């Protein structure tokens, strides 16, 4: 198999796996009311079907990425896709809401396995100088799938019922499995002798023995448990905060997450084989883009949550009309993600990330100015700025995170990237609803949008810490050598 074909198959598997998750999440949102009526479930039970998935997937993403580093991303990806397909089929046949909740939690395990591997496979087979282009294509297709999800989910639910939404997911799952199985494993076998590794593959100074070569020295199970519990407490609290508000049940969740995070930090400093390599977390090429992704995703969803209520409750639009008003966001996100790689080559990735965060900040500020009399042009401009900014940031920052990690730690880096994109939206919505207080989300659009503009501005400042790409310097050095 030629390297070019290998790269194309890896990109196909990565895209179809990511599309599988994006379609599932967005299509299910439309089907929830019908699912509730059909299974005679309460609103809280239907919400737990979504919360159970979010909590499980967020808790396990980093550990799943480490499994890919150790055992091979293609193998972990294949298991994840197969598990996702099996649980989708199970949910489609579920006799009651209890089965749906349990299977959605299991589906979160499968989703955690496949998502970091979609980036790990790309890091393993794509050259570093071309990785940004592959991730830009992947990001653009994810945006397209997220935009099409509600339409597909609505059409399937209207004509065939809510169960068809889960059966439809079997199609991208089959495509992802076929593409992944066609890609030869790019990860060295665990039994490879250390002497076979080239000198350049030696772990950097400060890295504990046993963390190189895909983590062949062992798995940090205590660290994985502490991280999973901390993230589960954090995400569960953030997701339920918009409904429950700040109460006696909210504070313990955040306190537990903080205590577990401190315990995790102490454990990671003492263990010989940390789940989160210190050198990776300290690297500006990884840590800064991760922070930017967290801020961007929080700001975007923190604006969209009240904006949806604003369009329907304040401006009196029906769901279809409000969806059409928001459509420019998806279009701008797709175009910006697709063009981010070319812009990064010309102007540098830091410039693209800074510009994207500035657009998100501007979009949030303009959204805060919307009122009952705002016209289509003003609303469209807000969504265009938000979509273009987030699309550029997501593609460029993701490329920096994945490329900034070594091949042996690509899974952990992918898990951290996916964790940021899972925690960010929950954080943004929680902040937006907290800002709104007792007011309806639509009526509190201004304070919520201003808060999210502050979050995006903080992300913009963080983007200034993104290191300048080394490519221009390399070119100068090369020309000096030729002279």
Q: What is the pLDDT along the chain (483 residues), one digit of tens a residue?
A: 688 888 888 899 999 999 898 888 777 777 777 888 889 888 778 878 888 888 899 889 999 999 999 888 999 999 999 999 999 999 999 999 999 999 999 999 999 999 999 998 888 888 888 888 899 999 999 888 888 888 888 888 888 888 998 998 899 899 988 888 887 664 444 433 433 334 433 444 334 333 343 344 578 899 899 999 999 888 888 887 777 666 666 778 888 999 999 999 999 888 888 888 888 888 888 899 999 999 999 999 999 988 988 888 888 887 778 778 888 998 999 999 999 989 988 888 899 999 999 999 999 999 999 988 888 999 999 999 999 999 999 999 999 998 888 888 888 999 999 999 989 988 898 888 888 776 777 788 899 999 999 999 999 999 998 887 554 444 444 444 444
**φ, ψ for residue 29 (rounded to 5)?**
-55, -40
**Nearest CA to 333 among 144, 60, 179?**
144
End-to-end alpha-carbon separation of the chain, Å? 39
The C-alpha atoms of residue 320 and residue 151 are separated, in whole angstroms, by 10
Rg (CA), the chain: 22
Q: Are 387 and 336 contacting, i.e. CB atoms less than 8 angstroms apart?
A: yes
pLDDT at 249: 67
pLDDT of residue 321: 80
CA 41 to CA 343: how far, in whole Å? 49
- CA-CA distance, 356 to 343, in Å (whole number)? 11
> pTM to 2 decimals?
0.81
d(CA 429, CA 446): 14
CA dist list (Å): 229 to 125, 225, 264, 271, 330: 33, 6, 10, 18, 34
Residue 470 is predicted with a pLDDT of 54
Angle between helices 128-160 and 3-38 (to 10 degrees): 30
pLDDT score recorded for residue 248? 67
């Amino acid at each position: 198999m030629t390297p070019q074909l290998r790269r194309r198959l890896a990109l196909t598997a990565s895209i179809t796996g990511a599309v599988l998750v994006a379609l599932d999440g967005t299509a299910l949102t439309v089907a929830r009311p019908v699912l509730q009526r059909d299974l005679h479930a309460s609103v809280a039970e239907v919400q737990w079907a979504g919360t159970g998935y979010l909590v499980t997937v967020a808790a396990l993403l980093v550990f799943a990425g480490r499994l890919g580093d150790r055992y091979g991303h293609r193998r972990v990806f294949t298991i994840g896709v197969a598990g996702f397909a099996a649980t989708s089929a199970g949910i489609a046949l579920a006799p009651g809401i209890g089965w749906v909740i349990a299977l959605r939690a299991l589906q979160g395990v499968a989703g955690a396995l496949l998502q970091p591997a979609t980036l790990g496979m790309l890091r393993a087979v794509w050259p570093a100088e071309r990785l940004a282009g592959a991730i830009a294509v992947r990001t653009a297709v994810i945006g397209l799938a997220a935009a099409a999800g509600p339409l597909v989910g609505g059409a399937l639910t209207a004509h065939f019922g809510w169960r068809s939404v889960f059966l439809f997911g079997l199609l991208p799952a089959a495509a992802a499995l076929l593409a992944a199985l066609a890609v030869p494993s790019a990860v060295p076998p665990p039994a490879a002798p250390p002497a076979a590794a080239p000198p350049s593959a030696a772990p950097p100074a400060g890295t504990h023995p046993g963390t190189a070569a895909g983590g062949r020295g062992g798995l940090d199970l205590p660290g994985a448990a502490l991280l999973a519990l901390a993230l589960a407490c954090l995400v569960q609290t953030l997701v339920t905060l918009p409904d429950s508000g700040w109460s006696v049940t909210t504070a313990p969740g955040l306190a537990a997450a903080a205590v577990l995070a401190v315990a995790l930090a102490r454990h990671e400093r003492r263990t010989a084989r940390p789940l989160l390599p210190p050198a990776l977390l300290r690297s500006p090429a990884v840590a800064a883009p991760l922070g930017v992704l967290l801020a961007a995703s929080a700001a975007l969803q923190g604006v969209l949550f009240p904006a949806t209520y604003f369009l329907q409750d304040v401006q009196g639009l029906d769901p279809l009309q409000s969806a059409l008003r928001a459509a420019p966001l998806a279009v701008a996100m797709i175009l910006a993600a697709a063009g981010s790689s070319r812009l990064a080559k010309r102007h540098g990735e830091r410039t693209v990330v800074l510009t994207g965060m500035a657009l998100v900040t501007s979009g949030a500020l303009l959204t805060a100015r919307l009122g009952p009399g705002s016209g289509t042009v003003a609303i469209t401009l807000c969504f265009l700025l938000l979509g273009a900014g987030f699309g550029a940031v997501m593609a460029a920052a993701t490329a920096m995170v994945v490329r900034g990690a070594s091949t042996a730690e690509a899974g952990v880096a992918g898990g951290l990237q996916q964790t940021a994109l899972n925690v960010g939206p929950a954080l943004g919505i929680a902040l937006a609803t907290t800002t709104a207080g007792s007011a309806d989300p639509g009526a509190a659009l201004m304070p919520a949008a201003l808060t999210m503009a502050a979050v995006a501005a903080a992300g913009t400042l963080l983007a200034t810490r993104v290191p300048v790409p080394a490519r221009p310097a390399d070119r100068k050095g090369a020309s000096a050598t030729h002279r």
